[in-house]
């Protein structure tokens, strides 16, 4: 796979460090196109992949935006960026309160950060020379795992391990041998659903936009850019909405 400009930059200056770190974590160096029996591998010529470089870039963009907005916070004369962040926070906080309840405010920072990361990751592929990290299945899977661990952690924290485990047993102990496998599969399916939905939509959007740009470079691709923008917003919203619903089920007093 061809390296993006930003990926080449990172590999040039940080590739050696990344290779040593991956080796220390147990990854095996495998050249591009080489067959291997190992699952955890890296390309020694380019240990930093495009999707990871794009993730770092998205994190950097968000950190800069947060710092910039914080430095310009004003009660009397708020700027456009402050309005955007405030509206985003109020929207997600209001949605969380409706779904989870009045104790949902301390989940808002995580949900806002999750939503903004997904949104910027979806949109960055519209810029020539960049690609959406969420169009690579590894990134949506990682986000789904983070959301999955987050709601289970808070479910255990709120309910206690014993009471939370009873959720998997079902309403009647006699049904436990049936309910436990069903509940485990159900929770794993949530993670896979979040992954596949985000990956498939963004990958398809990037592919369709690229095809029409290559066939008809003027006029019509603008329509698909607008469609891709809408899909990016929608998928970020759906991911956060589902994470909120799963979180509500985990911290509810009664299941």
For the chain, 255 residues long, the average pLDDT of each consecutive 10-residue run is: 91 95 91 82 92 97 91 80 89 94 91 97 90 95 97 93 86 82 93 96 85 67 80 96 95 69
Answer yes or no: do 121 and 191 share one domain.
yes
Task: Please report the pLDDT score of residue 253 as a whole number.
Answer: 67
Kindly state whether residue 174 falls inside one of the protein's structural domains.
yes
Handedness of CA 157, 59, 131, 90 (dihedral sign): positive
Q: Is 2 exposed, middle or buried (0-12, 13-18, 19+ CB in 10 A)?
A: exposed
Q: Establish how many alpha carbons lie within 13 A of residue 132's alpha carbon, considering only the half-sphere containing its beta carbon.
A: 30
Which structural domain, as residue segments, surrounds residue 190? 85-251
What's the total number of domains in the chain? 2
Q: What CA–CA distance (Å, rounded) separates 141 from 199?
A: 9
* 238, part of any domain: yes
Residue 62 lies in a domain: no
How many angstroms separate the CA atoms of 8 and 4, rounded?
6
Helix, strand, coil percent content, the chain, rounded in steps of 5: 75, 0, 25
Quick check: is 75 in a domain?
no
Same domain, 147 and 197: yes
- As to burial, measured by CB atoms within 10 angstroms (0-12 exposed, 13-18 middle, 19+ buried), residue 125 is buried
Residue 254: the pLDDT is 58
Q: Are residues 141 and 43 part of one domain?
A: no
């Amino acid at each position: 796979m061809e390296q993006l400009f930003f990926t080449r930059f990172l590999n040039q200056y940080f590739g050696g460090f990344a290779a040593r770190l991956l080796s220390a974590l147990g990854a095996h160096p495998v050249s591009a196109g080489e067959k291997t029996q190992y699952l955890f591998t890296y390309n020694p010529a380019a240990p930093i992949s495009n999707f990871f470089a794009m993730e770092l870039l998205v994190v950097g963009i968000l950190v800069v935006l947060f710092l910039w907005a914080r430095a310009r916070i004003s009660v009397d004369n708020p700027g456009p960026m402050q309005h955007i962040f405030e509206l985003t926070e109020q929207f997600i906080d209001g949605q969380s309160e409706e779904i989870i309840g009045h104790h949902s405010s301390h989940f808002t920072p995580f949900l806002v950060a999750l939503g903004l990361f997904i949104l910027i990751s979806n949109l960055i592929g519209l810029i020539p020379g960049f690609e959406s990290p969420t169009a690579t299945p590894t990134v949506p899977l990682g986000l789904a795992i983070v959301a999955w661990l987050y709601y289970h952690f808070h479910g255990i924290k709120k309910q206690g391990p014993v009471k939370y485990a009873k959720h998997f047993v079902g309403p009647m102990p006699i049904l436990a041998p049936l309910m436990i496998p069903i509940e485990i599969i159900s929770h794993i399916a949530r993670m896979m659903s979040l992954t596949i939905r985000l990956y498939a939509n963004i990958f398809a959007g990037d592919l369709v936009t690229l095809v029409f740009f290559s066939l008809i470079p003027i006029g019509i691709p603008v329509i698909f850019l607008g469609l891709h923008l809408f899909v990016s917003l929608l998928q970020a919203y759906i991911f956060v909405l589902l994470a909120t619903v799963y979180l509500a089920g985990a911290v509810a007093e009664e299941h």
